[in-house]
Every structure is written in structure tokens, then in C-alpha cells.
């Protein structure tokens, strides 16, 4: 391959000459401002000042010479300068064309050499927007190289193009530089320390009859047009190239910010500094402010008189008033309007001020009326809030709270405005739960406390006393497994309750959601069951007034960030005074969890919660919902009846959730199933108390931690699978013994006798 490289190292940067008025000075005092018709504006300059003796240029890269022989302005050693544009920071220069020509007699090349000193100047770069890199020839390729170090030609990057003809000239067309005979490419930004390189392919000799030279060069957009004649010889030794330039701040390659801090910024009055990161990548350039013109490097920029020069949008020059950096349009006295070409000026209409005055008066009256109306509405709202506060027992609550100041647990009374703000005006996106007794919103109080705000449904006005007592008692419950009541709001038609916020959702979700169920092993289920039982036991036995929850279900057992159980939703709860065993109430609860005895008698007792908790245990064991017509066969529509049937028929394994049972937990599961069976007895008096249930579950947990205590119980899986002999089951369920450690020998006739009634109740739900 014949290969010739012609290096043209040209590091340049462009500056624009604005239209210079003869009255304005463009060079420093005592410095040459023109060279054979070419203007030399500062920061460029020639030699030293005849007045001060200092250099006429700002920095060394801006030094020019006036060549009397060629009658041209020269940059560096031999690069002619055509024009300098201060405004755009650009300069036009004539750059040599790199070429390779085959000499048949000497079989060599001729090349142009450029002074390499320019390669050390980073503040001059070829303008990527205003130039193209072009290669001309057949079987020719050309490169445009940029080096990080002019002395090291291996460190940098290149771009270029190639054109191949294979001796064919039919497709070569004048003015077409698309790849045959001529090719061109865009130039990457910030190319400095630049050289051009041209070479030929091996079959170059086959095209010598019409093409004995190859050329590569950079040319300003529109300055070169390809012709087929150029394949024989390019008629140009030099072509204009547009360069970007920037000042370096005394060769330190400083930015505007750095130069400003060093008090060395060269930008003069009414101008501003612009970092050159988008052009040269080094230093900065100065630009006149909007509405000013001139040389920002010399004496600063002067105001443009837009009015005298017709650079305005006013109706006429007469309607234009020049201001510093801008102008204003106006209308003469006696006329109105903006004075612009669009609106113009017209005689004043005296009717307009009258109309405006009347309108202003009307607006004032309207605004005043609105203010009075808003004040009236505000007072009306305040009275309504006071009415609701009294109606909902606010005065009674305050009286009760005043007598309990010694308590460490206080109930906060919130305003309706606080809770509206906390819930973003009860945004539906903040709803975290809906139930039969109200809707629960997530809210954030002003002190950044996250709370759950329950907006209840209509409350019976006759139950105000009981509601207030409930708030007082619940606010003083301090049990780790009961959701804490923080306070309430009584200013709305329906009272609002504010609870602590529990983050991880409900136990129902973890039982019945397949994705969550995978992370919900037996030990977690047993722990949560024991915690919930402890909380209900506390409500029944340890509260100042026993409380029956009346809506125990897995959806009302919440799990916090540590998956600790929190019993919630006391909207249906009732107090049971110590001297009473049962309360006559309207039947309330959730289908599938309701105590059948309570449904028949409407007599609410603590044992109603025990039955409902038994259904929750059945859920934990089976993973099935308490009541469903879709998922189970007909005999399994009621989970409680289904579990009792499996216990009675010695087929507990069939009811358990798939994958739950293993060698380690089978004894625990059997014992929990026994507890669930006791809770689900039809007669309430046969069921254990919640305290007994909690003790049994906690005992099972303790035993699970010390398997050595109960090793004899694990003889084999077949023995534990059948739970107890059929005779023992029937004995246990008739007499209702609540002890899990001893099963008396009684008969099971009672549950068989009541089975028809139970099924009838279940089918009627």
C-alpha cells in the first residue's frame, strides 16, 4: 500500500469582528489596528505599543504579524488570517491542503509542512458546526487527527472518510461529495492540536490516467464545491477554515469563576464571561450584555440606541425612548395605548376611567360581600363544630379526662382541621382499610407521627355515654398486643378515632395471600396466635371494665414491622360490668366468625370472642377462609364445622395447609388443633376462657422451645396423626373439659346432637 501522511497541525479558535464604527477604537493605544485592509481587534495584536511599550495582544496565542511581502495578516508562522469576529469568538484563516501526488519518475510524494509550534495552543479549535473534513481522489482515504500532546502523535483520536473508484468514473458527478471521488464528514467538537492525513490504496496506480493526486483538508461550510477536474489537480493550495477561540486567563486555562475570584477577569464594562466548554473546552470568552455592543475585551461595550437604528417594535422612532441596554415605547400626552406597532396609540376615552371606576366599586362591593359571607360561614361552621362536640360527648369526655390527670396515659382531643390536613382532606389514596364500622386512613400529624384515623359510620346518639367510656378505657389500655388509641375528634358529625399506625397489614393477608404466605412459617403463626390470645385475655380479665371485642377475626389482627400481633378495631366492642355475665345486644360481627349461640340468643358473653378466636386458629391451621361457597366443596363451606368434622373423624392432616406439617411441629399443630376444637364448641359454657386459651398456647410455645421435655409424645407420626382415640374425642366434647393435659372419659353425644342446629345456622348466614 502506498501511504503518505501530511501533517497540518493547526490549533485555532475563532473570534468575530462586529461592525466597527470608525469612531470606536479597536486596538490598544499605540498599536496597529489594520494590516492591508484586515482589521486587528484586541485581544489580537501586532507587536508592542508605541505608547506603553507593552504587547498589543492579550496573550501569546493572540499575537499576529503583518507580512509586507504577501501583504497579509499572519497568525503563527505562515497562516493567513482573513477575518476576526469578536462577537462570536471566531476567526477565518486560510489553511494548507494536505495532498499526496504520485511522481512516475521518482515514485514518491510531495507534501506541505506546517509549523508545529501552533500545536501547543489549546485555546484554538476547529469549529465543529462551521466546517467539514473533506477527502478528494479515487482510492483515497483521509484522517483528521487530534492529539492531547502535540509531541506525542499516539495519544488522541481521529475521524475521516474514504472514497474508492476502482477505475470507474461514470458515477462521479460535479458538486456531489457523497463518497465517489469526494467524501466529507462532520468534525467532532473541541478538536485541538489538529493534523490532516491523506493516503491511497494499493490499486491507486490503476486510476493514474485521470487521478494522480489525493487530497485531505478542512474547509469552511460553503467554501469548497467538488468538481471532477479536481481529481487531476485541486486548484487550491489553501482553503478558509473557521476556528473557535477563547482566552486562557494568563495561560492558566481558568474558568469564569476562577478568574473572577483572582480579580483577573478580562471582560470589561457591560459584558459578561462565558465558559468555553462548548467550543474550545479551555478558558472563557467575553460577550456584550443584551442591548450593548462593542469590544468587551478593550474598553467594554456601549449601549445600542435601538430607537435611532430602527431596532425596536414601537409604532415609530418618535414613539421610542432609548434606555440603557433596552428601550421603551410610549404614547404622547392625550393619547392612550402601548405605543407598539401592534397596539399603537389612540385618543383617550374618558368613558373608560368611569367604567373602570364603576367596575372597581362593584368589585369592592362584591369582595366585601364575599368576606361577610365567608365570615358568616366560618362562624356557622364553628357553631356546627361546637354542636357536634357537645352532641358527641365532648364535655363529658373533658370532665372524665380532668378526673384522670394522674394517669400516665392521656387522650388527645384533635381538631377536625388537624385530621383533614393529616389525611390530605381524606384522600382515597390514603385509605388502608374498610370495614363494617368505618374507613381507616393513614395520616401524618404535624409532629411527623404516622397514625391510623378511623372515620366511623353513624353512631347512635343514645350511646354517647358508652362511646366516651370506651374512649377513656381504651386510651388507658397499655398492652403491647393491642393497638394504642391516641385520641379522638368530636367536631364532626361522626366521631373520629386516632390510633397508632401498624405498618405490615393484617393477619388475614398473610394467611390468604400466596406471596406473603411463603414467608409465614408455623412458628410465626403460633407466636402470633399466642400474642393475640394474650391481648384478648387482657381485655376480658385485666381491664378496669371487662371488654368483649365482638368482632375478633384475622382481618382485625394487625402486624407491625416486627410482625408482632396487634388486636384492633373496637368499633363493635362492648363493656361487660363485673356483676353481669352477658349483655343483650343486636347481633353484630362477621360471617364465618360469629358465635352460633350468640346468633340464637343475642346474649353477648366473653365466650363469643373465644368462638371467633377459634375460627382464627382454624384459619392459621388450614390456610382456608372461614366461610366460602366458591373454594370448598359443599361440606367445607363453614371452616369451623369442617375442622370439627376432621377432628371427630380423625383426619386432621387432610385439613392442614399444604407443606405446614413436619416432624418438628406435628405435636404442636395437634395441640393447637385441640385448643381450636375446644374454642369452637357449640355451647359457650363448654368453651375455655380466653385466659385459659392464652395459657395453653403460651405453654405450647414454651414446650416447642424445649423439645426434650416432650420427647415421649413423638413416638411416631401415625400416633399423633389421629390426635386422640374416637372415644376420647366424644368424651372430651360433651363434658367440656378445658384442660389440654388431661382428657376425661365422657361422651361426644352433645356435639353430635347440636350438629343439625349448627348446620342450619351456618346455611342461614
* 455 known ligand binder: yes
Spatial distance between the Cα atoms of 695 and 545, rounded to a whole number of angstroms: 21
Spatial distance between the Cα atoms of 98 and 9, rounded to a whole number of angstroms: 11
For residue 218, give the nearest of 189, 246, 187 by alpha carbon.
187
Residues ≥6 apart with Cβ < 8 Å to 654: 646
For residue 683, give the nearest of 744, 747, 626, 733 by alpha carbon.
733
| Candidates 92, 244, 551, 686; catalytic one | 551
Spatial distance between the Cα atoms of 516 and 578, rounded to a whole number of angstroms: 41
Q: What interhelical angle do 749-763 and 726-735 show, nearest 10?
A: 70
Spatial distance between the Cα atoms of 569 and 7, rounded to a whole number of angstroms: 86
CB-CB neighbours of 546 under 10 Å:
16
Spatial distance between the Cα atoms of 435 and 456, rounded to a whole number of angstroms: 9
Spatial distance between the Cα atoms of 327 and 291, rounded to a whole number of angstroms: 9
Residues ≥6 apart with Cβ < 8 Å to 725: none
* 176 in active site: no
* Cβ–Cβ < 8 Å for 213, 99: yes
Q: Which residues pair with 242 in a beta bridge?
A: 92
Residues ≥6 apart with Cβ < 8 Å to 271: 286, 287, 288, 289, 292, 296, 300, 301
Q: Where are the beta strands (DSSP E) in 530-590?
A: 547-548, 557-559, 565-567, 574-575, 583-584
Kind plus residue range of the DSSP H or E element containing 486: strand 485-489
Indicate the burial class of 79 (C-beta count within 10 angstroms; 0-12, 13-18, 19 or more): buried
CB-CB neighbours of 600 under 10 Å:
12
Q: Residue 754, SS3? A: helix
By annotation, the residues acting in catalysis are 551
* Annotated binding-site residue numbers for ATP: 455
* Annotated binding-site residue numbers: 455
Amino acid at each position: 500500500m502506498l501511504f503518505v501522511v501530511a501533517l497540518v497541525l493547526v490549533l485555532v479558535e475563532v473570534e468575530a469582528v462586529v461592525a466597527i464604527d470608525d469612531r470606536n477604537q479597536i486596538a490598544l493605544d499605540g498599536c496597529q489596528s489594520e494590516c492591508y485592509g484586515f482589521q486587528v481587534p484586541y485581544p489580537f495584536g501586532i507587536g508592542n505599543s508605541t505608547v506603553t511599550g507593552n504587547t498589543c495582544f492579550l496573550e501569546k496565542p493572540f499575537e499576529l504579524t503583518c507580512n509586507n511581502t504577501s501583504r497579509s495578516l499572519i497568525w503563527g508562522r505562515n497562516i493567513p488570517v482573513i477575518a476576526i469576529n469578536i462577537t462570536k469568538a471566531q476567526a477565518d484563516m486560510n489553511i494548507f491542503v494536505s495532498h499526496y501526488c504520485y511522481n512516475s519518475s521518482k515514485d514518491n510524494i510531495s507534501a506541505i509542512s506546517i509549523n508545529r509550534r501552533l500545536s501547543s495552543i489549546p485555546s484554538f479549535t476547529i469549529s465543529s458546526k462551521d466546517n467539514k473534513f473533506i477527502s478528494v481522489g479515487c482510492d483515497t482515504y483521509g484522517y483528521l487527527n487530534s492529539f492531547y500532546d502535540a509531541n506525542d502523535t499516539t495519544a488522541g483520536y481521529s475521524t475521516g472518510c474514504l472514497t474508492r473508484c476502482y477505475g470507474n468514473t461514470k458515477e462521479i458527478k460535479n458538486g456531489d461529495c457523497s463518497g465517489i471521488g469526494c467524501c466529507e464528514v462532520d468534525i467532532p467538537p473541541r478538536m485541538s492540536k489538529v493534523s490532516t492525513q491523506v493516503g491511497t490504496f494499493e490499486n491507486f496506480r490503476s486510476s493514474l490516467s485521470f487521478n494522480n493526486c489525493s487530497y485531505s483538508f478542512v474547509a469552511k461550510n460553503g467554501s469548497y464545491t467538488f468538481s471532477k477536474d479536481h481529481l487531476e489537480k485541486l486548484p487550491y493550495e489553501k482553503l478558509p477554515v473557521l476556528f473557535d477561540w477563547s482566552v486562557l486567563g494568563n495561560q492558566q486555562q481558568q474558568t469564569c469563576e476562577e478568574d473572577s475570584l483572582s480579580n483577573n477577569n478580562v471582560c470589561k464594562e457591560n459584558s459578561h464571561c462565558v465558559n468555553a466548554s462548548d467550543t474550545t473546552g479551555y478558558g472563557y470568552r467575553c460577550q456584550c450584555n443584551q442591548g450593548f455592543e462593542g469590544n468587551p475585551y478593550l474598553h467594554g461595550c456601549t449601549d445600542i440606541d435601538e430607537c435611532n437604528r430602527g431596532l425596536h417594535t414601537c409604532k415609530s422612532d418618535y414613539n421610542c425612548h432609548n434606555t440603557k441596554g433596552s428601550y421603551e415605547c410610549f404614547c404622547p400626552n392625550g393619547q392612550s395605548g402601548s405605543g407598539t406597532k401592534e397596539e399603537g396609540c389612540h385618543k383617550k376615552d374618558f368613558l373608560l376611567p368611569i367604567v373602570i371606576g364603576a367596575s372597581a366599586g362593584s368589585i369592592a362591593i362584591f369582595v366585601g360581600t364575599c368576606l361577610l359571607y365567608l365570615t358568616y360561614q366560618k362562624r356557622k361552621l364553628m357553631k356546627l363544630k361546637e354542636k357536634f362536640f357537645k352532641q358527641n360527648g365532648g364535655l363529658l369526655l373533658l370532665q372524665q379526662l380532668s378526673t384522670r390527670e394522674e394517669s400516665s396515659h392521656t387522650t388527645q382531643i384533635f381538631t377536625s382541621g388537624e385530621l383533614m390536613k393529616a389525611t390530605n382532606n381524606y384522600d382515597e389514596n390514603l385509605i388502608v382499610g374498610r370495614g363494617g364500622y368505618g374507613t381507616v386512613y393513614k395520616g401524618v400529624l404535624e409532629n411527623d407521627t404516622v397514625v391510623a384515623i378511623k372515620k366511623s359510620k353513624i353512631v347512635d346518639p343514645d350511646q354517647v355515654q358508652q362511646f366516651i367510656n370506651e374512649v377513656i378505657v381504651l386510651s388507658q389500655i397499655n398492652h403491647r398486643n393491642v393497638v394504642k388509641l391516641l385520641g379522638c375528634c368530636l367536631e364532626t358529625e361522626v366521631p373520629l378515632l386516632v390510633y397508632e399506625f401498624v405498618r405490615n397489614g393484617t393477619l388475614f393477608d398473610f394467611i390468604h395471600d400466596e406471596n406473603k404466605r411463603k414467608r409465614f412459617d408455623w412458628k410465626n403463626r403460633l407466636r402470633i396466635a399466642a400474642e393475640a390470645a394474650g391481648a384478648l385475655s387482657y381485655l376480658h380479665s385485666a381491664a378496669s371494665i371487662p371488654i368483649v371485642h365482638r368482632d375478633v377475626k384475622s382481618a382485625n389482627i394487625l402486624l407491625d414491622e416486627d410482625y408482632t400481633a396487634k388486636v384492633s378495631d373496637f368499633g363493635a366492642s362492648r363493656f361487660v360490668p363485673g356483676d353481669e355475665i352477658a349483655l343483650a345486644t343486636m347481633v353484630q360481627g362477621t360471617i364465618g366468625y360469629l358465635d352460633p349461640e350468640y346468633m340464637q340468643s343475642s346474649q353477648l358473653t366473653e365466650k363469643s370472642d373465644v368462638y371467633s378466636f377459634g375460627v382464627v386458629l382454624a384459619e392459621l391451621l388450614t390456610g382456608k377462609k372461614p366461610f366460602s361457597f366458591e373454594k370448598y366443596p359443599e361440606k367445607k363451606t363453614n371452616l369451623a364445622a369442617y375442622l370439627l368434622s376432621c377432628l371427630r373423624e380423625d383426619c386432621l392432616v387432610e385439613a392442614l395447609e399444604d407443606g405446614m406439617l413436619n416432624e418438628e411441629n406435628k405435636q404442636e399443630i395437634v395441640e393447637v388443633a385441640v385448643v381450636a376444637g375446644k374454642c369452637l364448641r357449640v355451647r359457650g359454657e363448654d368453651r375455655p376462657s380466653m385466659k385459659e386459651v392464652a395459657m395453653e398456647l403460651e405453654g405450647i410455645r414454651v414446650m416447642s422451645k424445649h423439645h426434650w421435655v416432650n420427647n415421649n409424645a413423638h413416638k411416631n407420626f401415625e400416633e399423633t396423626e389421629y390426635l386422640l382415640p374416637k372415644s376420647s374425642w366424644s368424651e372430651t366434647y360433651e363434658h367440656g373439659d378445658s384442660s389440654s393435659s388431661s382428657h376425661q372419659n365422657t361422651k361426644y353425644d352433645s356435639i353430635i346432637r347440636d350438629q343439625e342446629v349448627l348446620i342450619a345456622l351456618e346455611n342461614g348466614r
